[in-house]
């Protein structure tokens, strides 16, 4: 998809330049008597036109030459660089899903743990988008598992839990992410998933022994948040987990 957009950009750039350059050159030649416009070979109008083009052709040619450069900058801003200010090169590539670019940047020694202006690392961005392939690529390359963003202190696992990406949650935990890491609001990934009603994520977190008794700054457990939001099925799941003799084994087997 990125290549198609790039080719369309090039087509638009040079097509737009041609719309300016070709008429400018054509009329300039006519004003010099090299090519005469049919119907304007004689008369006062031809002389007036020649005088007009003698002063105008140079600005037109200049605009035609500069136009592709100016338009390319505008299009890059509009199409490709809509990420927040302060984004890193590798972060932009992750956001666009450009795994080959990410691999190349890693080979060149790009820092995997540099955050953007919000403190979001490339792993945060991959987890946020639910990009499993990109997440594994970053994990295999040694990305920091428990980096916290600047706003609430979300880790990649907490971001994935909030967004409902259970497969990414499991991948992060298996690679060593702290399942009970706390945000600035004293909430774990389990709190975030329970409030949002993501049963699949809650099941994964319970499977990997997430603590259910942790209370946030408002004094609420994850179960209380689920109940408060009306997620009855999720409440039942957590109750079943709490009363089961072998809760982790049961969750692991579905």
DSSP track, 116-141: -TT---HHHHHHHHT-HHHHHHHHHT
Q: Where are the domains of the chain?
A: 2-80, 89-252
The tokens describing 4, both together, are 């198609």
Count of CB atoms within 10 A of residue 228's CB? 12
Which CATH code for domain 89-252?
Answer: 1.25.40.20
Q: For the segment 99-155, what is each residue's pLDDT rounded down to a tens digit?
A: 999 999 999 988 989 988 889 999 999 999 999 999 999 999 999 999 999 989 999
Grouping H, G, I as helix, E, B as strand and the rest as coil, residue 8 is helix
Using an 8 Å Cβ cutoff, are 164 and 201 in contact? yes
Q: For the segment 201-223, what is each residue's pLDDT rounded down to a tens digit?
A: 999 999 999 999 999 999 999 99
């Amino acid at each position: 998809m990125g290549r198609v957009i790039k080719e369309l950009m090039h087509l638009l750039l040079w097509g737009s330049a041609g719309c300016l350059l070709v008429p400018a050159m054509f009329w300039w030649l006519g004003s010099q008597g090299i090519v005469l416009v049919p119907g304007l070979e004689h008369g006062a109008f031809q002389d007036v036109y020649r005088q007009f083009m003698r002063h105008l052709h140079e600005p037109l040619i200049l605009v035609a030459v500069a136009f592709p450069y100016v338009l390319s900058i505008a299009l890059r801003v509009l199409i490709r660089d809509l990420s927040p200010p302060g984004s890193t090169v590798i972060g932009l590539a992750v956001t666009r899903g450009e795994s080959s670019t990410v691999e190349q940047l890693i080979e060149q020694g790009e820092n995997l743990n540099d955050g953007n202006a919000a403190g979001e690392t490339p792993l945060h961005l991959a987890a946020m988008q639910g990009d499993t392939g990109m997440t594994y690529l970053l994990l295999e390359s040694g990305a920091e598992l428990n980096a916290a963003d600047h706003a609430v202190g979300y880790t990649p696992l907490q971001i994935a839990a909030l967004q409902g990406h259970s497969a990414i949650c499991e991948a992060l935990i298996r690679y060593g992410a702290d399942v009970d890491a706390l945000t600035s609001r004293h909430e774990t990934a389990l709190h975030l998933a329970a409030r949002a009603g993501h049963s699949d994520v809650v099941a994964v977190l319970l499977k990997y022994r997430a603590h259910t008794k942790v209370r946030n700054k408002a004094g609420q457990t994850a179960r209380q948040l689920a109940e408060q939001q009306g997620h009855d099925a999720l409440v039942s799941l957590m109750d079943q987990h709490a009363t089961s003799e072998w809760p982790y084994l049961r969750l692991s087997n579905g």
